[in-house]
């Protein structure tokens, strides 16, 4: 970076002196929360500078090259009920590249039976809630008749919970399930099957409030709410390339490889944002960085209890990547019971692989495996894949590697709700965004986008700007 209003490559930064009142916003962090905030502020007419420390946008949802293969750091899915992320995809022109399946359909293979693998399906009908899942549940082979009936009763009890009740966040989901008659098998074969993937915690470690939110919104709100969407292209195509194009056309000045080192009040009632070799002056600053970085950047007094941010735990996700010399999985994805394998996705087309098949195994709640050597994981997972996918038995493994995200999500533990701050801080003009802020959602792309819209709404309101251009879920998000 150069001194003054210029960047490392010599291009001028936003000319702050030429701006009208309340004109320049700096967004720190180019993950989905930061990109969303920057787009929403620019759409409302502000001059916006987005600063990202890494060489790319997309934060925790990104791609990289491994030879000819384009690899996602971790398989990402979303649900039809993720209205904010779907707005984001539309806004960057990427909706067609990450479509939602027509109707929820999840193959679930049980490897734990003596008589051999058994396939079940979690599917929905075109019936109203909760009947849309009734037939699937009634025929779900991985639970006994009594367990299926009891799951139905628990689902209805869950539907009756008031998500606004803060007491829900003090209890754990596992105890609630036990109290509502759920057997260990029902937890494993149904509640954790969905909950581990969406919350990144087993039921016993998850806040009842967050779990109830996920199940009520995904399975008990609208018949199509849980239909699954995923990118048919590398994540970087959406969250980096298309996001960058959208930011450019919205007039946002985007600087990557630009790490913010401090944020402090300036003498004009605004904020000075320090990056190596330069200070940017801003009327509003949004910190869209992970909680620990936000804690370190927040000036004294900005939050009543800044130490809360350091108390928010984190949870890892491991992805195991296997390239076979032939097709071994016919479905686009499946999930499994009775094996360490959780979800398996076919990433062949998205990765650019021309021959054979590339599978990505998404392993949530990976606390026990995240630091295991690749050789150990290979020894564990290749035989499991052979058990799961008979066609893998004769296939040659062309490549095997893993990606480890040690702080993939915040830990959705009971009590986390009181630690998550909202978008506004006590410092006027300084806002927070990020999947970890108080959106009501677990650490997801949906939560990140919601938080970004919420921060933009708060900043626009304080600057006296119209919020009319924000997407219609902003009232909720703000
Ligand atoms: C392996 C994996 C699988 C996942 N699966 C799913 C899934 O299936 N579905 C789903 O919805 N979600 C999933 N998630 C979660 C989802 O990716 C995140 O919740 C979301 O991307 C978080 O976005 P964010 O913008 O809040 O934060 P981040 O993505 O963490 O972005 C913060 C950005 O701030 C930057 N930054 C930090 N400090 C500074 C600084 N000082 N100056 C400048 N920049 C800075 C960082 O480099 C980063 O780019 C998954 C996450 C992982 C890791």
Taking the centre of ligand 1 as the mean of its atom positions, its distance from the CA of residue 116, in whole angstroms, is: 40
Which atom number of ligand 1 is nearest to the Cα of residue 82?
A: 11
Q: Check if 454 has its Cβ closer than 6 Å to any atom of ligand 1.
A: no
Question: Does ligand 1 have an atom closer than 6 angstroms to the CB of 48?
Answer: no
In ligand 1, the atom with minimum distance to the C-alpha of 35 is 25
Closest CA to ligand 1's atom 41: 260
Whether pLDDT at 476 is above 70 = no
Q: Which atom of ligand 1 is nearest to the CA of 319?
A: 1
Instruction: State how far the Cα of 335 lies from the Cα of 55, in Å rounded to an integer.
Output: 34
Q: Is 432 in the pocket of ligand 1 (CB under 6 A)?
A: no
Q: Is 29 in the pocket of ligand 1 (CB under 6 A)?
A: yes
- Per residue in 46-101, pLDDT tens? 999 999 999 999 999 999 999 999 999 999 999 999 999 999 999 999 999 999 99
How far away, in angstroms, is 102 Cα from ligand 1 center? Answer: 28
Distance, CA 346 to ligand 1 centroid (Å)?
23
Query: What is residue 178's predicted lDDT score, i.e. its pLDDT?
Result: 98
pLDDT tens digits, 121-163: 999 998 888 889 988 999 999 999 999 999 999 999 999 999 9
Nearest CA to ligand 1 atom 49: 59
What was the pLDDT predicted at 466?
A: 83
Three-state DSSP class for residue 154:
helix
Ligand 1 site, residue 405, Cβ cutoff 6 A:
yes
Find out whether 138 and 115 touch, Cβ atoms under 8 Å: no
The pLDDT assigned to 277 comes to 92
Q: For the segment 192-221, what is each residue's pLDDT rounded down to a tens digit?
A: 999 999 999 999 999 999 999 999 999 888
Q: Across residues 11-26, what is the average pLDDT?
A: 54
User: 31: CA distance to ligand 1 center in Å?
Assistant: 5
Give the residue, by CA position, lying nearest to ligand 1 atom 8: 76
Q: How far is the CA of 60 from the centre of ligand 1 (A)?
A: 3
Residue 434 C-alpha to ligand 1 middle, in angstroms? 8
Question: Atom 27, ligand 1: which residue's CA is nearest?
Answer: 31
CB of 59 shorter than 6 A to ligand 1: yes
Q: Ligand 1 centre from 187 Cα, in Å?
A: 29
Distance CA 322, CA 400 (A): 5
Contact 56, 258 (CB under 8 A): no
Q: Distance between CA atoms of 446 and 439, rounded to whole angstroms?
A: 9
Nearest-atom index, ligand 1, CA of 230: 8
Max Cα-Cα span within the chain: 75
Report which protein residue has its CA nearest ligand 1's atom 53: 408
Indicate whether residue 260 lines ligand 1 (CB < 6 A): yes
Quick one: which of 184, 432, 169, 416 has its CA closest to 293?
A: 432
Give me ligand 1 centre to Cα 256, in Å: 15
Residue 359 has pLDDT above 90, yes or no: yes
Q: Could you report how far apart the first and last alpha carbons of the chain are, in Å?
A: 34
pLDDT above 90 (res 251):
yes
Q: What confidence score (pLDDT) does residue 417 get?
A: 97
CA distances from 416 to 249, 412, 421, 442 (A): 38, 6, 10, 10
Q: How high is the pLDDT of residue 14?
A: 39
Interatomic CA distance for residues 227 and 213, integer angstroms? 16
Q: Rounded distance, CA 207 to CA 170, Å?
A: 7
The CA 393 to ligand 1 mean position distance, Å, reads: 36
**How far apart (Å, rounded) are the C-alpha atoms in residues 160 and 181?**
16
Residues 6 or more apart whose CB falls under 8 angstroms from that of 277 comprise 1, 2, 3
Cα 91 to ligand 1 centroid, rounded to whole Å:
19
Looking at residue 18, its pLDDT comes to: 36
69 CA distance to ligand 1 centroid (A)?
Answer: 22
């Amino acid at each position: 970076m150069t001194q003054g209003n210029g960047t490392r490559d010599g291009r001028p930064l936003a000319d702050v002196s030429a701006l009208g009142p309340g004109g320049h916003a700096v967004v720190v962090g180019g993950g989905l929360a930061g990109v969303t905030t920057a787009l929403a502020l620019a759409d409302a007419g502000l001059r916006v500078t987005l600063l990202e420390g890494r060489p790319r946008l997309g934060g925790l949802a990104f791609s990289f090259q491994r030879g000819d293969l384009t690899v996602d750091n971790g398989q990402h899915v979303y649900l039809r009920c993720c209205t904010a992320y779907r707005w984001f995809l539309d806004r960057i022109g990427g909706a067609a590249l990450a479509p939602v399946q027509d109707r929820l359909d999840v193959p679930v293979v049980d490897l734990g039976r003596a008589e051999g693998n058994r396939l079940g399906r979690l599917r929905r009908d075109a019936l109203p809630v909760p009947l849309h899942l009734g037939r699937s549940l009634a025929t779900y082979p991985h639970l006994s008749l009594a367990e299926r009936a009891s799951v139905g009763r628990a689902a209805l009890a869950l539907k009756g919970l008031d998500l606004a009740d803060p007491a829900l966040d003090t209890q754990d989901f596992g105890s609630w399930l036990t109290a509502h008659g759920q057997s260990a098998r029902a937890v494993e074969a149904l509640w954790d099957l969905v909950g581990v993937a969406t919350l990144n915690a087993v039921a016993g470690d998850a806040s009842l409030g967050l779990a109830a939110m996920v199940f009520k919104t995904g399975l008990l709100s609208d018949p199509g709410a849980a239909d699954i969407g995923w990118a048919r292209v590398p994540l970087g195509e959406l969250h980096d390339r298309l996001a960058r194009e959208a930011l450019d056309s919205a007039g946002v000045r985007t600087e990557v490889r630009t790490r913010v080192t401090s944020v402090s009040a300036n003498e004009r009632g605004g904020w000075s944002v320090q990056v190596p070799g330069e200070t940017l002056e801003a009327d509003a600053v949004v910190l869209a960085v992970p909680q620990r970085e936000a804690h370190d950047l927040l000036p004294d007094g900005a939050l009543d209890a800044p130490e809360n941010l350091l108390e928010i735990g984190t949870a890892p996700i491991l992805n195991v990547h296997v390239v076979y010399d032939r097709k071994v999985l016919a479905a686009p994805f499946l999930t499994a019971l009775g094996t360490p394998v959780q979800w398996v996705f076919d990433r062949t087309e998205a990765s650019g692989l021309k021959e054979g098949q590339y599978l990505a195994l998404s392993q949530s709640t990976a606390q026990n495996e995240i630091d295991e050597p690749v050789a150990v994981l290979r020894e564990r997972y290749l035989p499991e894949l052979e058990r799961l996918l008979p066609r893998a038995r004769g296939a040659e493994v062309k490549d095997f590697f893993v990606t480890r995200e040690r702080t993939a999500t915040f830990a959705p533990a009971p009590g986390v709700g009181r630690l998550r701050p909202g978008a506004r801080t006590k410092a006027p003009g300084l806002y927070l965004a990020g999947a970890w802020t108080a959106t009501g959602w677990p650490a997801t792309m949906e939560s990140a986008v919601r938080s970004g819209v919420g921060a933009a709404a708060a900043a626009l309101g304080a600057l006296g700007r119209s919020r009319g251009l924000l997407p219609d879920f902003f009232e909720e998000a703000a």
